[in-house]
Amino acid sequence: MYKFFSAVIFFYIFSACEEQSDNGITDTANYGITFGGNQVDIGYFGQKTKDGGFVIAGLTKSYAASGTDVWLIKTDQKGQPEWDKTYGGLGEDYGLCVKELDNGGYVVVGSALIKTQSQGTEVWTNEEISGNALQIDGDGGFIIVGVLNDNISIIKTNSDGVQMWTKQYNIDNVDIANSIEPASDGCFIISGCTDCESYPELFLMKINELGDSLWTKIYGGSENESGAHAIQTEDGGFIVTGHTGTYGDGLNDLWLLKTDSAGDSVWTQTHGGSSLDEGTFIQQTDDGGYIITGINFSLALPDYGDAWLLKTDSLGLKIWENTFGGVGLDWGRTVQVTEDGGYAITGWRENVLNDQADSQVWLILTDSQGQAEPTGQTN
């Protein structure tokens, strides 16, 4: 059985350095903007901000004092940088999720929980709390999910990052929570994988505001499955994307699983080819369909993967798809609908040349049909 987990794990990518401007931003293949230096820089999560721009959380080795640092980048709506900040110590620090606060500041989680002002100035850091994803609670505090002692971990803090309570759940052996999103009733939906190191299956868990599990559902077959990101849909149900090794045509296919409000399966769809293909983030679009990003090996050059943008109808059937990349592993990690009806993909781009190693944070802006808009300039 081939194991290919959606669990959020930061790792180093090997590529070559492109020609850079003084501020570390380069053009790539006439589309998208990269941010980074000549080592490893990765974008894990991008969010559209209230001013129409974007904020990106990830890690940087190029600009870290030692090891890797959390890297927070703020851009305008065209992807041009407004500011960037690094946070960390002497170890391996990274940011996996970022949310904008009502006051214009930001909260980041990954190797630690960090709160910043609107220009990225650090307000506080809680190094005792780590996680894969977070949401802002109704009282202004934060709910963070991840893995602790091989269990699904749910941590609640107040607005100052002080832990108020923690819950752990174990479904089967090693369980990992990859995402948390709000539901309309004040509850939250969590997705991830259970028995992640042996026979992974996708799980959905609905919790209330106190972290109590209201229900947990497991989905999968004889091979490996995992949930990368789940959201509530307009009909009150849920949809999750990730990958499946049981269903579809390839080693792993992107998996869309639609459920009702109780987590019971309504329909599933798979997308991909003969190789490894995975969905990492999903949003519902105004037409009732879905936009998904991830990585596609089937359509890429041999031994490499491309960032993937997939548009479906309301039943998960493909309307169109586009891939972005070249020689290397190029990932789409999150996707946002932009003000003009297009899409913004955040991830990272790897280049392989002359046996050197580097990767850069990547922001790709597309039109409503997923066609990348040329940048044609170096900032």
Give the pLDDT score at 2: 28
**How many Å apart are CA 108 and CA 101, to the nearest integer?**
11
Give the pLDDT score at 159: 97
Nearest 10 degrees: Cα torsion 82, 330, 325, 322: -90
Convert the pLDDT of each residue in 14-63 to its tens digit. Answer: 232 333 333 343 334 457 999 999 899 999 999 999 999 999 999 999 99
Give the pLDDT score at 375: 60
Convert the pLDDT of each residue in 298-329 to its tens digit. Answer: 999 998 999 999 999 999 999 999 999 988 89
DSSP annotation of 19: P
Where does the chain have alpha helices with state H?
Answer: none
**What percent of the chain shows pLDDT beyond 90?**
83
Q: Span 117-139, mean pLDDT?
A: 97
Convert the pLDDT of each residue in 260-270 to its tens digit. Answer: 999 999 999 99
Ranking 63-77, 187-201, 203-217, 364-378 by mean pLDDT, the lowest is 364-378
- Helix, strand, coil in percent for the chain, rounding step 5: 0, 55, 45
**How many Å apart are CA 109 and CA 70, to the nearest integer?**
9
Give the pLDDT score at 374: 65
Give the pLDDT score at 138: 93
Average pLDDT over the chain, rounded to an integer:
90
Ranking 28-32, 109-113, 122-126, 337-341 by mean pLDDT, the lowest is 28-32
CA-based nearest residue to 74, from 346, 378, 368: 346
Give the pLDDT score at 276: 94
Residue 95 has pLDDT above 70, yes or no: yes
Nearest 10 degrees: Cα torsion 225, 184, 210, 215: -40
Residue 215 has pLDDT above 70, yes or no: yes
pTM tops 0.85: yes
The contacts of residue 297 (CB under 8 Å, 6+ apart) are: 273, 275, 276, 277, 304, 305, 306
Give the pLDDT score at 358: 87
Residue 275 has pLDDT above 50, yes or no: yes
**What percent of the chain shows pLDDT beyond 70?**
89
Ranking 8-22, 90-104, 138-152, 240-254 by mean pLDDT, the lowest is 8-22
Residue 190 has pLDDT above 70, yes or no: yes
Question: Greater confidence, 297 or 373?
Answer: 297
182's enclosing H/E stretch is strand 176-182
103-366: CATH superfamily: YVTN repeat-like/Quinoprotein amine dehydrogenase (2.130.10.10)
Ranking 93-107, 160-174, 218-232, 355-369 by mean pLDDT, the lowest is 355-369
